[in-house]
Amino acid sequence: MNNTKSIVSLLLIILLLSLKSNFGFTQSNYTLQECEELYRKNNFLLLAEQLNIDIAQANTVQAKIWELPYISGEFNAINPQNRRVFDIGSKGQKGIAIEQLVYLGGKKKAEIEFAKSAIPIAQLTLEQLVRTHLVELKQSYYSIYFDNLKLNSLRNKMANIDTLVAAYSGQASKGNVPLKDVVRLQSLSLSLKNQYAEIQKDIFSNQAIIKIITGISNDIVPIFTEQEINELLSKKIIYQLGGLKELAIEKNTELQTINRILVSNDLFYKWQQTFSKPDLTIGASYDQRGGAFLNQANLTVGIPIPLWNRNKGNIVAAASKTLQTQNLKNQKELEIKTNVEKAFKEFQFQQSLFQRMSSESLQNFEIVYNGVIQNFQKQNITLIEFTDIIESYIESIVLLNDVKKQVILNGNNLNYIVNEKIF
């Protein structure tokens, strides 16, 4: 029963691929540079993140603004002595006062410096977002390119095998060949189609990633010359592992962001310390008749008595936040160094694996494949030998393109971690 379900699922995938081939999805040719330009124009997350810089700058402007002066007035409502209401004339009573809060202990300066510290954090966060999107775009773009090469090779081979299946089916119906030979060829055909379907699913996924990042509505067709690919595959990294780790610690934007957050935390801590010192309220008032003198003018000064609230809790919390961020920085440095080492070793391994493959491997595979087809048609080799050789050939073709793809993907990943174009 499970085998039947698997075959039905496979046939449905094959049908989908057939419909895609016959009716087609709209495809457009885009270079990698064109995709990157479209990303900068169309990506909504990028546009939204850019506004965080404007927000941080606006908060800095707001931090520079002092509290508004406070003005109050007192006017007579009922004069019981003279039995008058709203007696605010020359012989009545009115008063007016104005007060201004004056920050002491460097509060306003500390607040402004803390607000300013959010601007480079927002800028680095934007840079990190761009880097992440661009590496995802590149990885998907290159993956589609190499997966299309696999599909092209498989497509041709499937057509040849299907032709043999049709021929053998006709011969089997006449009793010239055993039915088991037809079944074996059909099994090989289904195996190739299954591989084809799996690769196509990967292409669908990567196409979706590119569409989300760039805003392109059509499926893209990557454009590369053979020379461009060969140059990438043979490119050497001039840095040693130790140098790469040092460069990553210096350049990695995630670590730079944490360093900026540390600075911001320190400024926030200093700002909280200033709240342990009370602020001064200064003002002036005029009282027409209610004071000790007629038309009395007063100077008012007020300051809180710092008895039980010296902002100790917020100061301790700010200090703990700094220690927390320092631990995150130490962890991030360890992660970066580990990831650099991993990416560097993976790149070296894949590149050495590719270099051990002869540059003529693909041509040799094609020669062997064509020879096998001809010898099988002439009945110089058995069906079992034929199917074994074809399966080995397909695996080799897929492996070769996978190795090429991984060389480039690992190189791009190394660029991303270090934040430097070293590949």
d(CA 244, CA 418): 7
The answer to whether residue 77 is domain-embedded is yes
One domain for residues 187 and 111: yes
Distance in angstroms (rounded) separating the CA atoms of residues 11 and 137: 31
Distance CA 416, CA 418 (A): 6
Whole-angstrom distance, CA of residue 234 vs CA of residue 49 = 37
Same domain, residue pair 186 and 61: yes
For the chain, count helices (H), then strands (E). Answer: 12, 8
Residue 165's closest CA among 383, 6, 344?
383
Q: Can you tell me the distance from the alpha carbon of 15 to that of 9, in angstroms, rounded to the nearest whole number?
A: 10
Residue 97 and residue 245 share a domain = no
Long-range contacts of range 1-10, CB-CB < 8 Å, 24 or more positions apart? 7/190, 10/190, 10/193, 10/194, 10/197
pLDDT at 387: 86
Residue 248's domain comprises 46-66+104-276+312-418
Pair 60, 194 in one domain: yes
Whether residue 245 is contained in a domain is answered as yes
Domain boundary among 294, 310, 326: 310
Q: What pLDDT is stored for residue 388 in this prediction?
A: 86
What is the pTM assigned to this prediction? Answer: 0.81
At residue 23, the pLDDT reads: 41
Which CATH number fits the domain that encloses residue 406? 1.20.1600.10
Tokens at residue 202, please? Answer: 């990967």
Q: Are residues 153 and 238 in the same domain?
A: yes
Split the chain (423 residues) into runs of 10 and give each run's mean pLDDT: 45 46 65 93 90 93 92 86 80 90 93 96 94 96 95 88 88 86 89 93 96 93 90 90 94 95 96 92 90 86 88 93 95 96 94 77 72 80 85 86 94 94 89
Question: Considering the domain boundaries, does residue 34 fall inside one?
Answer: no
| Together in a domain, 178 and 194 | yes
On whether both 201 and 292 belong to a single domain, the answer is no
* Encoded tokens for 93: 């009573």
Antiparallel, parallel or unpaired: β 94-102 and 70-75: antiparallel
Question: Do 233 and 404 form a contact (C-beta atoms < 8 A)?
Answer: yes
The total of structural domains in the chain comes to 2
Rounded Cα distance between 194 and 191, Å, is 5
Q: Is 13 contained in some domain? A: no
Of 266, 289, 310, the position where a domain reaches its end is 310
What pLDDT is attached to residue 139?
96
pLDDT at 181: 86
Q: Of 133, 139, 121, 180, nearest to 38 (Cα)?
A: 133
Residue 291 token pair: 């004071």
Alpha-carbon gap, residue 155 to 149, rounded angstroms: 10
Res 12: pLDDT: 43
Domain co-membership, 305 together with 346: no
The answer on 203 and 153 residing in a single domain is yes
Same domain as 190, residue 83: no
